[in-house]
Amino acid sequence: MRSVIGYEEKDPEITQHLTSGYPRFVQHPFLKAAALVLLRHAGLEHHQAWPVASRRAALALQQWLEPVVTQVIEHEGLYGVAFPDNTETNGRAKTWLQHCGALASTRATEDFLVRVGDRASLYPEETFVGDAEARVRTYLRQAFAPAADDDLFLANSGMNAIWAAFRAVSAVQAPRGRKVWVQFGWLYLDTIAILQKFTGSPGNYVHHADVFDLDGLRRLFADRGGEIAGVITEVPTNPLLQTPDLAAVHELCRTHGALLVVDPTISSPLAIDVLPHSDVVVNSLTKYTASEGDILFGACVLRPGLPDATSLRALIAGELEPVHSRDLARLAAQIGDTAAVVRQTQISAARVVEFLRGHPRVRSVLWALEPQSKDNYLRLARSPDAIGSMISFTVEGPLAAFYDVLRLPKGPSFGMKTTLICPFIYLAHYDLVNTDAGRAQLARHGLTPDLLRLSVGCEPVDDIIAALSEALG
């Protein structure tokens, strides 16, 4: 926990040892090296730069950083945005790229470094030989049947899929006088940030916190239905694992002309079928599909028969960043394991839930089949045991006393073959954890700073339970 807090507070004693991390939060060494090459080529050695996924992303980042004077730079097919060395500007650029998922991929920058002679060769790894995109699309057609192929879009990350959906729906709805977005439930931090920062004005962002409060949502639509562009939610939500009555929410949106964007990443679209009760589905293929945990990838899917499909297809395609060929080939090499990973992790997760609920030192356990969510979730589940890999829980006593001795892999992702656990609220919402007002805000939404988020992996489940038992004492 000392290291977690040191990372959040940027303590040099901790960060000096951090050579890499989740790519949207910690700049990969290849991106740092590529930025230096771009700056040298442009004669801007005393500037800073961020490599981005495309020229379009560079121009958008440049606009976001105004009025700071910036330059779009390009060399050997890689784009970046350069600006005078300034901590605040660098932070603003990083945050925008984090929210929108528009960073150049690690493999794209690695290829660039090899092209310019800065690296001798590529890191050896298994990649799919053949039509990688066709293989990935075969999986998507299975996960999102009966969506047509031209309604399945690949994204360079899950966040880029969410960003593209948000931008496309906003563009379709704005001419109709609809600019309000509703955040339905407590969602992932960058999804919240997109709604808070990019809806145009504070009045265009509405947080309907309780996903079980359909009457409250109906009242909101009765008051502002003609203004609402879209509703965005997760099924289940992250990290409370709450599932709304999705069919009822979708019917309400359709009645009032709003579009419903749904993210089923927590359990995987192989576990739950949300497309019939959504207008746009966004999914991080980084989870479960890239089960080795070494690729950022995403997808954006339109519901068959969606009236705005023609406009949305063009808009989404224009907002998505291009996927890099080697990322696609690496994903295609792993994607065949997805069904087995989903099946194994959810079988093991059920066992872990049973263990945690029966342990006297475990204070609370949240999972897909909690009583308030169970019926809503099972209506979407492809089978009664399709519960996903995710469990959130709290323990009695100081968090560090448990977390520091727990012998399980620790990290902020999920949906991997490897079990991962993290103090999620510290990592996602440290700004709320370390103030009384922030803790009060978390409490109002049913969150505690000590919440642990566990993604059960494919290791023998008895080993996972033994590690938890040992740490609980």
When pLDDT is averaged across residues 303-324 and rounded to a whole number, the result is: 97
C-alpha to C-alpha distance for 246 and 273, rounded to whole angstroms = 11
Is the residue at 8 inside a domain?
no
Backbone φ, ψ for residue 195 (5° rounding): -65, -40
The verdict on whether omega for the bond into residue 175 sits within 30 degrees of 0, i.e. cis, is no
When pLDDT is averaged across residues 168-186 and rounded to a whole number, the result is: 98
Based on the fold, state whether residues 153 and 258 are members of the same structural domain. Answer: yes
CATH code (residue 297): 3.40.640.10
Strands 390-395 and 362-366: antiparallel
When pLDDT is averaged across residues 156-168 and rounded to a whole number, the result is: 98
Based on the fold, state whether residues 326 and 374 are members of the same structural domain. Answer: no
Tokens 């493999």 belong to which residue? 107
Based on the fold, state whether residues 234 and 323 are members of the same structural domain. Answer: yes
Strands 180-184 and 228-234: parallel
Is the residue at 148 inside a domain?
yes
Based on the fold, state whether residues 176 and 258 are members of the same structural domain. Answer: yes
Based on the fold, state whether residues 434 and 459 are members of the same structural domain. Answer: yes
Based on the fold, state whether residues 143 and 61 are members of the same structural domain. Answer: no
Question: What does pTM read for this prediction?
Answer: 0.96
Evaluate if residue 19 carries a pLDDT over 90.
Answer: no
Based on the fold, state whether residues 309 and 457 are members of the same structural domain. Answer: no
C-alpha to C-alpha distance for 430 and 305, rounded to whole angstroms = 42
Based on the fold, state whether residues 208 and 314 are members of the same structural domain. Answer: yes
Backbone φ, ψ for residue 232 (5° rounding): -125, 135
Look at residue 236 in the predicted model and tell me its pLDDT: 98
Based on the fold, state whether residues 200 and 331 are members of the same structural domain. Answer: yes
Look at residue 419 in the predicted model and tell me its pLDDT: 98
Cβ 93 vs Cβ 65: under 8 Å: yes
How open is the CA angle 33-285-311, to the nearest 5 degrees?
Answer: 100
C-alpha to C-alpha distance for 446 and 444, rounded to whole angstroms = 6
Based on the fold, state whether residues 330 and 352 are members of the same structural domain. Answer: no
Cβ 280 vs Cβ 307: under 8 Å: no
Based on the fold, state whether residues 462 and 347 are members of the same structural domain. Answer: yes
The number of distinct structural domains making up the chain is: 3
CATH code (residue 392): 3.90.1150.10
Based on the fold, state whether residues 106 and 178 are members of the same structural domain. Answer: no
Look at residue 71 in the predicted model and tell me its pLDDT: 97
pLDDT tens digits along 233-261: 999 999 999 999 999 999 999 999 999 99
- Domain residues for the domain of 46 are 19-115
C-alpha to C-alpha distance for 23 and 168, rounded to whole angstroms = 25
Look at residue 20 in the predicted model and tell me its pLDDT: 87
Is the residue at 383 inside a domain?
yes
Structure tokens at 272: 């739950």
- 304: number of CA atoms within 13 Å, CB side? 8
pLDDT tens digits along 25-79: 989 999 999 999 999 999 999 999 999 999 999 999 999 999 999 999 999 999 9
Tokens 């080939």 belong to which residue? 329
C-alpha to C-alpha distance for 350 and 442, rounded to whole angstroms = 27
Is the residue at 10 inside a domain?
no
Cβ 112 vs Cβ 78: under 8 Å: yes
Residue ending a domain, among 63, 82, 115, is 115
